[in-house]
Amino acid sequence: MSDNNDFGAFFAGLIVGGLVGAATALLLAPQSGEETRLWIHDRGIELKDRAVEYGADARARAAAALDDARARADQALEEVRYRTDELARITREKVSGTRPEPPAEVEEPPAAV
């Protein structure tokens, strides 16, 4: 969860830093309007590419975390199944060992008078 917050803070910082840097460059750059527009266009493409890259990285990390969680859940489920089967086996053994043997012949109850 902390990695998620760190990534969000980093991404927000990247956006804010890019905007502040762009504004500063526009104010201080001694270039023509056409050059400035071209520079803004290029920086916009760069920023978009970075955002796509970070998004792909975040998706890959999320997929890896999901795969890890699924593997852990499968492992836990197998452990529960094993322990349940073992408990059932032990219970059957104990119950079969303490159950009295049924009589060889079943006696009929005496007839009511």
pLDDT for 22 equals: 77
- Ordered mean pLDDT values, 10 residues apiece, the chain (113 residues): 69 84 76 80 90 91 95 96 94 77 61 61
pLDDT for 13 equals: 85
pLDDT for 107 equals: 61
Which tokens go with 14? 């990247």
pLDDT for 16 equals: 86
